[in-house]
Structure 1
C-alpha cells in the first residue's frame, strides 16, 4: 500500500536543525542531527547538520531552517487500537446520539483532531458505527479536517448479541453470514477486518471467558479477508479461545486478557501480532469520570492483574507487540495521555525503551504493511514527527515533554513557536 503525506503540505522544504533524532528503528538517539523534509512532506535526508544543509542547499527548492533548540525528535506515534466514536456504557453512551449521523461525525472529527495533537499521527480504527470512519478518512486525506492518518476496519464483526453488538459491532451468524459481513466491510473500503471471538469488558450480558464464534464462522472471515489480502485481528480474552483462533489463521490478537506462557509461545512461533491495551484494565479514574456502571468497572479492574501477567508472558516469549490504547488516545490519564501511559506500562512490564518506541512506530507500520513509509525518520518516509525535551530512547516518559507535532512536514502543534521563527536558508 502506498500512502500520501496527508492534506496540505508546508509551502517550502524544511531543514530541522539543533536536534537529536531517534529514527524509529534503532535503540538510541543520535545527537547533532538535522532533518531535511521536502515540500511534498517526505523525508529527504537525516544526518550530520552540515551534510544535510549542504544537500538541501544544492537543491533548487526553497528551504526554511527551523531551529529546534536542542530538542529530541522521533517519528509520530501509531496507535493501533482506537475507537474515535467510543461510547462506554453509562454517561458516554447517554451523551452520544448514534442515530444522528451528523452528531456522530462531529464527535469523531473532534476526537481525531485531539488525537493528532496528542502526537498520534496514524491510528488504526478497530470498530466504528455506520461507516462514518470511511467518510472521516476521506476528509482527513483531503485536508478538510485535521486528524491522524487512518487505517480502519469499519464495523467490528460479532455474533448476534456478541461483544460490541450494541455499539460498533455488526451482528452475523453462520459461515455465510460472517462471509457476507466481511465482504460488506471490504466493499466499504476496510483496510483490515476486526472480529470479536470472545466476551470483553464492556458487554453486560457476557463474561471475558465467553466464546462467541464457531470455527466455521471465524474461518469464513479469515479466508475471505485473506483472499482480499487484508489482515484479520481478533478481540479475544481467554487463552483457550486464543489458542483455537490462532490455528484458524488470525493475524493479530487484541487485549489477550488471559494469555498463558504456552499460548504466548505459540503466538511468537506463528508471528502473531499482539495489541495488549493494558490501560483498559488499570484506569479507575477514567471510568469514574465517565460514570461507567459498577459491573463494568468491577470486571475491568478485576481483570487487571491477570492482564498484566499476559503482557509479561508475551514479552518473555518474544511476541510481536505493538501499541494500542483502546482508551481515547488523547484522554488525560495519570498526568499524561492514555497513549503515553500505555507506553509507560509496556516499559514497566519489561519492554526496553527501544522496544516500546518501535512498537509505537516502525513495528506498527510493519503490521499495517507500510514499512518505510511511516513510523521511521528515514529517506522516503512521510515527515511525521514529534519534538520532545528529553530522550525517549532513554526513558519513554520523555513523551510527557512533547511540545511539537508535525504531520506530513506540516507543523500541526508548535507550543514553542519553532516553525514561526523559521528562516530562509
Structure 2
C-alpha cells in the first residue's frame, strides 16, 4: 500500500481546526484569554518574527557579559524599548536613559542574554513558562505528538513573558506515528500502511503535512530511543536514502532537519543525507565529525538527557546512561576541537523542564572553557535557530531577553541554572 494518490494536505480550514485542537491540549488558549492586551506593539518585531508584544525596561548596574566577544562591562546599562535592545554598555557610554520606564537594578549581579535551548519538548503552556523561568528565552522544539509546540510558539508571539521564542517542529517523522495519526486528518491515510512511515511517499507526506501546519523545522530519527529500555538505540530505523528523502522534502520549503541519532553509521548516514543538526549522537566518529565540520552541520549532544538516564531507577537505563555519558563527553570535546558548531539542548520532556544552564555546565565538564560553554547556549544555538541577529547577545537591535544571575558565570557556571531574574522581550518575568 502507498499514499502516492492521496490528495495534498488540505487548506486553511483544516489547519485552523488542527491547531485549535493543539492549543486546547497545550492550554495556551486559556493563558491568552487571561492575558492583558498588548501594551507595546510591533516596534519589537524582528525579521522572521510575527508582530507581538514588547516591553520597555532599563536594566542597570552589575557586570554585562557579551558572549560573542567575551567582554565584561562594569556598571552596565541595558535599555530595552518595545522588546528590543536600544543601547547596552557602560553607564558613561549609554548616556541618558529614558524617564518613566521600569528599572531592574542588578548591582552586585551579572547580566547576560537569555539562553537558548536548542532541543526541548514543550507540550503545555505551563512547561513553556517553566522553561523561561529557568533561563531559556529562545528554544527549538524536538517535536510534540499533536502540534502543541506550534501552539506554544503562537503563545510566545502574543505573550512573550509566558513562553520562549520558539522554532516549532510539529510531529515526529518516525516509522511508527502511533496516536499522532489522530492529530490530523491529513495523516490518517498513513494508518493503512503495514510497514509504517518508510516509503518515499509516506516520508514526504509527513514532512508536507508538518509544513502545511506551520512547522519551522522537521524532526526525524535514524536510531531507536535510548530512553526506552525495550529499545536498542544503536539499531537503525531509517537508511541514507530515506533520510535524504526527508531532507529533500524539507529543503523544498527552505526548512532544515534535526535528527535523533546514536550509532556511528546512523550519524554518518544522517550527516551525509544533509541534516542541519545531529541530536544526541553519542557514538559519532571522527570521520563523521570531519564531515560535519565541512558541511557546517551542528551537534546538539543533549548531555543533560543522557546524564539523566544514569539516575534512572530502571537498571537498563541507568547502565546505558553511565556508559553513554563519558563517550558523549569525549565526542563533544572532539567536535569542539575540530571546529564543529555546538548547540546546547536539554531534551526536556514528559512535563519536567531541566534548566538550560545545566547543559552549559555539562559542556564545560566535557572540556569546553566556561565562555565557549556559554556560547553553546547563546551565540552558537542562536545561529542554529536562525536567530543570530535576534538572540544570544545584548546589543543594539537584539531582543530584550536578559538573564540576571547572582555570581560570575565565568567562574561558576552553576549560577546559570539559578537565575535571579529573567526578562523576556522587555518584560521582567514574575517568579511562579
Q: How high is the TM-score relative to the length of structure 1?
A: 0.81
Residues 1:3 and 1:410: Cα distance change in structure 2 (over 3 Å):
farther
Distance 1:52 1:3 in 2: 28
Residues 1:284 and 1:200: Cα distance change in structure 2 (over 3 Å):
closer
Contact preservation (8 Å) 1:3, 1:373 = no
Most deviating of 295-304 and 366-375: 295-304
Aligned residues: 376
Contact preservation (8 Å) 1:28, 1:393 = no
Structure 2 match to 1:25:
68
Structure 2 match to 1:419:
none
Residues 268-311 of structure 1, C-alpha deviations (whole Å, 9 max, x = no match): 222110001112222257534xxxx4433333333223222222
2:325 aligned with 1:287: no
Q: How does 1:25-424 map to 2 (within 5 A)?
A: 25-38=68-81, 40-54=82-96, 56-57=97-98, 62-85=100-123, 108-143=124-159, 146-160=162-176, 172-283=197-308, 287-288=312-313, 293-328=314-349, 337-413=354-430
Most deviating of 235-244 and 19-28: 19-28
SS class of match (1:78): strand
Which structure's residues are more often strand, by fraction? 1
Contact preservation (8 Å) 2:160, 2:425 = no
Most deviating of 120-129 and 241-250: 241-250
- CA shift for structure 1 position 7: 5.4
Contact preservation (8 Å) 1:268, 1:320 = yes
Contact preservation (8 Å) 2:370, 2:411 = yes
The runs of 5 or more residues in structure 2 that have no matched partner are 1-45, 191-195
Residues 1:362 and 1:376: Cα distance change in structure 2 (over 3 Å):
same
Residues 1:311 and 1:166: Cα distance change in structure 2 (over 3 Å):
farther
SS class of match (1:216): helix
RMSD: 2.9
SS class of match (2:388): coil
- CA shift for structure 1 position 376: 1.1
Structure 1 match to 2:57:
14
The runs of 5 or more residues in structure 1 that have no matched partner are 86-107, 416-425
Contact preservation (8 Å) 2:302, 2:347 = yes
Q: How high is the TM-score relative to the length of structure 2?
A: 0.80
SS class of match (1:274): strand
